Structure 1
Amino acid sequence: MTITHPFRVLLCLLLLPLLQSASAALPAAIEPEQIAIVYQMESKESQALAVNYARARGIPSGNLVALNLPESTTISRSDFESRIRNPLINHFDREIWWHRTTDSKGVKVPVRNKIRVLLLMKGVPYRIKREARPGGEDGKPSKPPVGREDEASVDSELVYLGLSNYEVEGPLNNPYYQKDSGISDASLIPLLFTCRIDGPSYEVCQRIIDDSLEIEKTGLWGTCYLDEALKGKNYEIGDEWMRAIARQNRKEGIPTVIERTRDTFPTNYPMTDAALYYGWYAANANGPLLNPNFRFKKGAVAIHLHSFSATTIEDPKKKWVGPILNKGAAATVGNVWEPYLTGTHNFDILHDRLLKGYSLVEAAHMSIPVHSWQSVVIGDPLYRPFLSQNQSPVMAEDDKDYRAFRLGIQKWSAEPETLAVKLRTAAARMNSGRLYESLGLRFLQENKIDEAKAFFNSAARTYPGEPDKLRQTLHLISIHRGAGDKQAALELVTDGLNRFQNIPESKSLLALKNILDPPAPPAAKSKAQ
């Protein structure tokens, strides 16, 4: 649904100078002819997804590759070589998709490559298991040194499809890491940029395709939810990624909710309009994903960092990748085996490149320091969720508040008092709880607590829905927890449990109550019992 009321006309006029200044800086698009699609020939669903995606994106039918593959999602190294890697090399040779030469060390390297993106469809295995090593004196297989393991992601291994004779033990450095340029860069020819469309069901995979195409027309608008882990010095880098995202969102005008404790978002947290989610560190999906009513915003990019987040992509309840996709997200990344923190996607880089208009596959590969390792990227590789943020005046009705907020930030961010007055006036005129809440979140980031509280209270009075009203209470509880005022936080929890007891999201308050005021442990049984 598009906006037809006068606000749309006004917003379009205000945006016009921004559209003109932003369009020239956008990265070049990946051409459809540069993509090859690999599918499982014995699976009708895998083939249908390949055909549907090719048709949707204008990819030549000759770029589809059918492989006879095991049904298992996890395969041996020998099966990977004989059933996936070697058949693909033969196909590239036969179709003259590349030209490879042998360097001075005897390694074959592509010097020309027509195909730059390799898209794997549901049905293609995604895990290569560890090879057994010679046993020690006890006869048990020995473990490889840390960082020299040979288990890997199929997708990550295929990045170096064109190279021969490279070591499979441990990761290889990614020359595209931290780049800020498209994949047409000539220095990147030896690499294939891998991605997959996968998930708990065929329907989920088809939705990913459809949603990505739809959201590109208007851009991805909504709220970003960040979850810091605060697990100590050895994990500080992950929390710094979250803080960097928060800083960038503040500059870009993306409302951002930050969970600043060691806990994850509590059970059934009312995560409305979740267009972006970056969190860590729990083994299995929790928080809002346990709420039967919860769905990510259409086109959402949602990622939870865990060492084994993508070990069961096909399961809608286990780990993270499957549940995230099952709850409506269009794009995510994950790990199929232990990557160690320094071998995972850097969320801040991934987020930055998406905001700049790069595609999912480019942003994901720019943010991973190593390949031939454990990562997978899931979603439409060509998906550019922020392509239309400054380009298209066409907007969905549900996005108008977010557009108004971003426009206000771009115009008045250097004048905080003017910004508050202008957007407060707009919130009142539009009767917008979203605008009030967005202002509260911004002032909270600036540590202007009184102003933040006032805007959250205004949002609570304005929002029509109970879950959104509850979230304002949760913001206030978070403020009191941050100030060390446990008693004030508990009073709000108790009041909220009375007010919101009839909605599933009230479990978030119960979870907080158990954190702030844990129940007494059960009495120990006597020996006589």
Structure 2
Amino acid sequence: MSLLRSHPTLAKTFLQFFIAAFLLAFANAQFLTHEQILVVFNEADSESAKLAEAYRAARNIPENQVLGLNLPLKADISRDEYQSTLLKPLREYFDSQNFWKRGKDAQGILLPIENRIRCIVLMRGVPLRITAIPSSSPADGEAPPKDPISPRDEASVDSELALFGVETLPEKGILQNAFYDSKVPLSKVNAPYLVLTARIDSSSYAICKRMINDSVATEKTGLWGRAYVDIANKIPEGDQWLNSIISRNQQYGIPTVTDRFNDTLPKNYPMTEPSLYYGWYDWNVSGPFLNTGFKFRRGAIAVHLHSFSGQQLTDPHQNWCAPLLARGAAATVGNVYEPYLHLTHHFDILHDRLLKGWSFGEAAWAAMPVASWQGITLGDPLYRPFLHIDGTGENRGEDRDFRALRAASRQWSDATDERRAKLAAAAQKLSSGNIAEGLALDYQESKDSENAAVWFNNAKTFYSRKEDQLRQDMQLIAIDRAANNTQAAISALRAALKNYGTISETAALSGWLDILDPPPPPVADPSKIPGN
């Protein structure tokens, strides 16, 4: 008998010591802290000021690190307005508060050489975009330039501010982000001239307030739930980012529903318990998010890749950033103008750093190759959604199954067969649809369609909600669809339509059926002249 087995009190003490040591290691990583934040709001907008105070209080930010500026009450500002209302006052405030020390580098450029503020958080009401100087864009009808990047001077306010302490920077083109793909937190990188930016902004004050509260609350429990990844098969680089996310989730025991068809997820797809979403490439919000009953799990991270995902933040039905936040996500990233794929957030890096316990602000900026460009980070930059991925944190009943999947991935990380056997037994004992579906998804990702089908069917019997049962049927149909068993897939879709006809999620079945068995074109009207 081992010493720890014979002394349960000692075993408990050892466990507490281990957990404390683990948490201390996280603390020693020196991620972004509240003492390194400057909050900026628009004095001309009363809700912007109120939101700034709510965030300051939630994160215990020092009062002199909240700055109100008299800014235009509009989303788009000119380059001159940016410089006079934001850039100049910010530099003056940093000087007056001794936040930084600036000096000249070897090339004689004045820039920060010490900086106490490492992140600026912009509140709703602060302008979003810096518009292009008209003469800098090609005239209508002109061919686009061979170099579509270096002549452009439009940008997100947020991205432009990242290097605001550096004098005489070019207004056109991009600037390299020294923190890109960093393997260590910002505090370990010698780049005092770089100030991360994030924005707490959405289509209403209430949503912004919830984003703050959800981030703080989720850090106590950890972010648990299901991931959904929609691969569009558009450009190999972007698809590879998503494949990397799926692989990482499999390692971490995060059950991940994957759609690998060219079309995006259909309208009202039964997306339940969603804590993570990554997809591309519709212009406006679509698929499961059109369901009026849809809502993300508290603290969810949700991102859709599109060139204009963050073009505006006031309409919860247009583009992607505002709609995802309106549907319950706590954080997202996006673009205000065309960024080009390689100059947008690299989703695989973002997700990897989040899983490693990083703050959202640092993970987002580690995923962004450039500054002075089009990216925005929406959400509390201090938010660490996977702070408790090790299984610590407050336990909630609704997280039980997802914690079990994670625990199994940790305990039997190198023993796949044993892990699956343990999960199979747990699913049966607990009659858990979540665990059974997680096991099915694991088999599916290993290209074991036979066992995946067995466990999708088992999950269907365990689930009580029609939406969850429907998703299992759609995943079984997806197996036939991927194998080009089109007729079998069509028959199953029609049968499911009859079975689930009373719930809104059946629109997803109709969406797939229209793709696999499109309806005939309408009969021509002989009274009308063709073409009129």
| Shorter-chain TM-score tier | over 0.9
CA contact 1:412–1:418 (8 Å) conserved in 2:
yes
Other-structure match for 2:112:
110
Q: Return the alpha-carbon distance in structure 1 between the equivalents of residues 301 and 496 of structure 2.
A: 30
Deviations 1:228-257 (A, max 9, x none): 1112xxx11000000101111111110001
Other-structure match for 2:49:
47
Consecutive unaligned residues of structure 2, counting only runs of 5 or more, are 1-11
CA contact 1:73–1:127 (8 Å) conserved in 2:
yes
* Structure 1 residues 457 and 20, CA gap change in structure 2 (3 angstroms): farther
CA contact 2:112–2:193 (8 Å) conserved in 1:
yes
Deviations 1:125-152 (A, max 9, x none): 111111011799x999997640121100
CA contact 2:31–2:186 (8 Å) conserved in 1:
no
CA contact 1:23–1:390 (8 Å) conserved in 2:
no
* Structure 1 residues 71 and 192, CA gap change in structure 2 (3 angstroms): same
Other-structure match for 1:60:
62
Quick one: which amino acid aligns to residue 173 of structure 1? Q
* Structure 1 residues 514 and 443, CA gap change in structure 2 (3 angstroms): same
Give the C-alpha shift of residue 360 in structure 1: 0.4
Other-structure match for 1:390:
390
Q: Return the alpha-carbon distance in structure 2 between the equivalents of residues 139 and 277 of structure 1.
A: 38
CA contact 2:433–2:459 (8 Å) conserved in 1:
yes
1:215 equivalenced with 2:218 (yes/no): yes
Give the C-alpha shift of residue 44 in structure 1: 1.4
Other-structure match for 2:351:
351
* Map 1:252-401 → 2, pairs under 5 A: 252-390=252-390, 392-401=392-401
Partner of 1:248, secondary structure, is helix
Q: Return the alpha-carbon distance in structure 2 between the equivalents of residues 350 and 105 of structure 1.
A: 33
* Structure 1 residues 94 and 273, CA gap change in structure 2 (3 angstroms): same
Consecutive unaligned residues of structure 1, counting only runs of 5 or more, are 1-11
* Structure 1 residues 186 and 507, CA gap change in structure 2 (3 angstroms): closer
Give the C-alpha shift of residue 453 in structure 1: 0.5
* Structure 1 residues 428 and 41, CA gap change in structure 2 (3 angstroms): same
Q: Return the alpha-carbon distance in structure 2 between the equivalents of residues 97 and 249 of structure 1.
A: 40
Q: Return the alpha-carbon distance in structure 2 between the equivalents of residues 421 and 186 of structure 1.
A: 44
CA contact 1:23–1:391 (8 Å) conserved in 2:
no
The alignment covers a number of residue pairs equal to 514
Deviations 1:267-324 (A, max 9, x none): 0011111100010011000001100010011100000000000011111000000100
Moved more, 319-328 or 107-116: 107-116
Give the C-alpha shift of residue 527 in structure 1: 6.7
Moved more, 376-385 or 186-195: 186-195
Other-structure match for 2:5:
none
Q: Return the alpha-carbon distance in structure 2 between the equivalents of residues 290 and 383 of structure 1.
A: 27
Quick one: which amino acid aligns to residue 346 of structure 2? N
CA contact 2:41–2:48 (8 Å) conserved in 1:
yes
Deviations 1:316-347 (A, max 9, x none): 00000010000000000000000000110000
Moved more, 409-418 or 332-341: 409-418
* Structure 1 residues 135 and 503, CA gap change in structure 2 (3 angstroms): closer
Q: Return the alpha-carbon distance in structure 2 between the equivalents of residues 451 and 457 of structure 1.
A: 10
* Structure 1 residues 432 and 528, CA gap change in structure 2 (3 angstroms): closer
Partner of 1:217, secondary structure, is helix
Q: Return the alpha-carbon distance in structure 2 between the equivalents of residues 181 and 103 of structure 1.
A: 24
CA contact 2:161–2:372 (8 Å) conserved in 1:
yes
Query: TM-score, normalising length from structure 1?
Result: 0.93
Query: TM-score, normalising length from structure 2?
Result: 0.93
Q: Percent identity?
A: 42
Give the C-alpha shift of residue 523 in structure 1: 2.9
Give the C-alpha shift of residue 21 in structure 1: 7.1
Give the C-alpha shift of residue 423 in structure 1: 1.0
Other-structure match for 2:173:
170
* Structure 1 residues 483 and 14, CA gap change in structure 2 (3 angstroms): farther
Q: Return the alpha-carbon distance in structure 1 between the equivalents of residues 521 and 528 of structure 2.
A: 20
Give the C-alpha shift of residue 101 in structure 1: 0.9
CA contact 1:157–1:371 (8 Å) conserved in 2:
yes
CA contact 1:344–1:369 (8 Å) conserved in 2:
yes
Give the C-alpha shift of residue 23 in structure 1: 3.3
* Structure 1 residues 365 and 480, CA gap change in structure 2 (3 angstroms): same
Moved more, 67-76 or 99-108: 99-108
* Structure 1 residues 393 and 300, CA gap change in structure 2 (3 angstroms): closer
* Map 1:17-28 → 2, pairs under 5 A: 19=19, 22-23=22-23, 25-26=25-26, 27-28=29-30
CA contact 1:267–1:287 (8 Å) conserved in 2:
yes
